[in-house]
Amino acid sequence: MASGTAFRRAIESGHVHSMILWGPPGCGKTSLARVLARYGEAEFLSISAVLGGLAEVRAALAEAAKYFAAGRRTVLFVDEVHRFNKAQQDAFLPHIERGTIVFVGATTENPSFELNSALLSRCRVHVLEMVSVEAIVQALQRALADAEHGLGAFDLQIDAAALHEIARAADGDVRRGLTLLEIAAELADHGRIEANVLDQVLADRVRRFDKGGEVFYDQISALHKSVRNSNPDAALYWIARMFDGGCDPAYLARRLTRMAVEDIGLADPSALEKTIAAWDAYDRQGSPEGDLALANVAVYLAMAPKSNAAYAAYGAARKLVAPHRFTAGAGGVT
């Protein structure tokens, strides 16, 4: 979206195309779709795959067809498009090809796995990232200053450090940050958001974690990379984040065991023994006592020497074996 980029120029010139917006919650997918409609001088229709079905899809397409007959374009925004089944996704195809709609689908899941190939072939996928803390701070500041759409009429007072803490707690989600600010405003004493109020608002927040989803795999990948790059502080942070988000400790134990044999390998053969011992400790004690055993071994793996020589050699051996058929006869293996 930076000034001068191809995507920015296309939007500003009104040349919008059908697309899939893939990104985490609160990163601006719906807002971007509205911007596309405004710059493209098109009607904006929105449906949710969570709340609607084929009937809602047909109704929206019929309305878009009326605009098309009148010479108007329509941006049809489909939120959580991955929730639609194949038949529901296929319903959009002829209308995209005919130009009746500019299709904009929003998803938090990997489109390659969740959307059918026919729809993907007609849309360009744009990946949106988590919003930075600094950008969320700016959004909160605008909300505090906007008397019409925000909280400006309340004349709230809040320290810059407290605003930054809310932005950090939002975890990349602008919508969550605005919600936290609104709650703090309701609890404010005489228009002042003090530290004790902020503590109440942020005390029981749930961090971003999506079991089995993209964020889940991003976090386990971050843990693995922290171990691989010998960063014990980062390893401890990510395993704490996953515990905090409700990750199954048995899954973490399996992944840590994989790291012990893949990344540490023969550089420290005892790493595998320690990982199995930590897993066993968790099985015996459960949470929260057993969590500490897994945290300890994550730090140990991060600090241990690394060697993937056996892992790489085993992979090479498998490639060597794969093309050949081996049969055992009376004289042995041939």
pLDDT mean across residues, the chain:
87
Task: Please name the residue that has the structure tokens 């026919």.
Answer: 118
Domains belonging to the chain, first-starting first, are: 6-127 (3.40.50.300), 133-202 (1.10.8.60), 214-310 (1.20.272.10)
Hey, which residues does 75 pair with through a beta bridge? 44, 102
* pLDDT number for residue 320: 87
Quote the longest CA-to-CA distance of the chain: 92
SS3 category, 332: strand
Q: CB-based contacts of 117: which residues, under 8 Å, 6+ apart?
A: none
Strand order in the sheet with 74-79: 43-48, 74-79, 102-107, 19-22, 124-127
The secondary structure element, H or E, covering residue 280 is: helix 270-285
Phi and psi (nearest 5°) for 16? -90, 150
* pLDDT number for residue 100: 93
Six-digit token string for 34: 């509205």
* pLDDT number for residue 334: 46
**Does the pLDDT at position 83 exceed 80?**
yes
Provide mean pLDDT across the span 143-156.
90
* pLDDT number for residue 203: 75
Q: CB-based contacts of 154: which residues, under 8 Å, 6+ apart?
A: 185, 188, 191
**Does the pLDDT at position 52 exceed 90?**
no
The secondary structure element, H or E, covering residue 127 is: strand 124-127
* pLDDT number for residue 204: 57
* pLDDT number for residue 198: 84
